[in-house]
């Protein structure tokens, strides 16, 4: 079987296809600003991946200098566009969520109330990080001054996704804070009844999905 192309490389390829020439730094910026929340990668990896693209003939690099310091800029090649097209024809991998705070909630019986609270706060912080970026990006697109203004139609869909995700996180954090506040003083029986009621309520709210 043909070796599957790593998806991070394809993400970079996609960026390269959007514009003529990118420096490594611009790539990391773009990744950080726009894609971090649904395609998170360490910035140091970008430098390596884009160099690998050149090795496969999918991009050309050009050296310029800033003072005495080298800067590399990259341009996609026709072969690179071909690789991008081929990848887009493959089925996408499933969505994956990794939530360590929720893992800690899962193990709340071994933690202190304070530690549980910290986990919930982290989820809220995660949401706020998304909303903070969304705020400035939304303003730019609405003002018509965003760097890729011609991509609004697509970016609006991403904005919708991330907004919904962040909102969901915030609302869950609020509900969970509420629900766990009384734990230290509640009898196990009471907690259990409340938990079952919560499950039943969620299920009843979406009968077509859950029954």
Partner DNA sequence: GATTACATGTAACATGTTACATGATTAC
Partner DNA sequence: GTAATCATGTAACATGTTACATGTAATC
Candidate residues 18, 19, 38, 45; the one interacting with DNA per rule CB under 7 A? 45
Beta bridge partners of 206: none
- Nearest approach in angstroms of CB 11 to its own copies is 6
68 binds, among its own copies, DNA, none (CB under 5 to 8 A by kind): DNA
Q: Which positions from 19 through 38 interact with DNA, judged by CB under 7 A? A: 23-25, 29
Contact string (CB under 8 A) for its own copies, positions 111-140, x = contact: xx--x--xx--xx-xx--x-x--xx--x--
Candidate residues 2, 68, 189, 208; the one interacting with DNA per rule CB under 7 A? 68
- The yes or no reply on residue 75 touching DNA (CB under 7 A) is no
- The yes or no reply on residue 42 touching its own copies (CB under 8 A) is no
Rounded to 5°, angle at Cα 17 from 12 and 21? 85
What is the strand order of the sheet 22-23 is part of? 22-23, 69-76, 59-66
Candidate residues 86, 168, 174, 181; the one interacting with its own copies per rule CB under 8 A? 168
55 binds, among its own copies, DNA, none (CB under 5 to 8 A by kind): none
Residue closer to DNA, measured from CB, 7 or 151: 7
CA dihedral 72, 78, 80, 84 (to 10 degrees): 140
In the block, residue with structure tokens 């309520």: 201
- The yes or no reply on residue 100 touching its own copies (CB under 8 A) is yes
Helices 43-55 and 7-18: angle between axes, nearest 10 degrees: 80
- The yes or no reply on residue 206 touching its own copies (CB under 8 A) is yes
Enumerate residues 6+ apart whose C-beta is below 8 A from 41. Answer: 8, 11, 31
- The yes or no reply on residue 122 touching DNA (CB under 7 A) is no
Candidate residues 8, 75, 117, 151; the one interacting with DNA per rule CB under 7 A? 8
Ramachandran sector of residue 202 (left: φ over 0; alpha: ψ -120 to 50; beta: rest):
alpha
Is 83 within 8 Å of 13 (Cβ atoms)?
A: yes
Q: How many residues sit close enough to its own copies to count as binding (CB under 8 A)?
A: 89
């Amino acid at each position: 079987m043909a070796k599957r192309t790593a998806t991070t490389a394809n993400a970079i390829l996609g960026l390269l296809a959007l514009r003529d020439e990118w420096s490594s730094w611009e790539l990391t910026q773009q990744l950080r600003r726009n894609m971090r929340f649904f395609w998170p990668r360490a910035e140091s990896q970008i430098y390596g991946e884009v160099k690998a693209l050149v090795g496969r003939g999918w991009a050309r690099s050009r050296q310029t200098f800033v003072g005495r310091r080298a800067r590399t800029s990259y341009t996609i090649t026709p072969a690179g566009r071909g690789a991008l097209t081929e990848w887009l024809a493959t089925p996408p991998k499933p969505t994956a969520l990794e939530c360590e705070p929720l893992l800690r909630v899962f193990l709340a019986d071994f933690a202190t109330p304070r530690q549980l609270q910290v986990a919930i706060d982290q989820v809220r912080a995660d949401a706020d990080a998304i909303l903070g970026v969304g705020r400035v990006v939304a303003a730019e697109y609405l003002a018509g001054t965003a760097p890729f203004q011609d991509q609004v139609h697509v970016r609006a869909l991403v904005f919708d996704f991330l907004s919904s995700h962040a909102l969901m996180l915030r609302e869950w954090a609020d509900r969970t804070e509420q629900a766990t506040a009384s734990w230290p003083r509640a009898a196990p029986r009471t907690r259990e009844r409340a938990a079952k009621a919560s499950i039943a309520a969620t299920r009843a709210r979406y009968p077509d999905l859950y029954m």
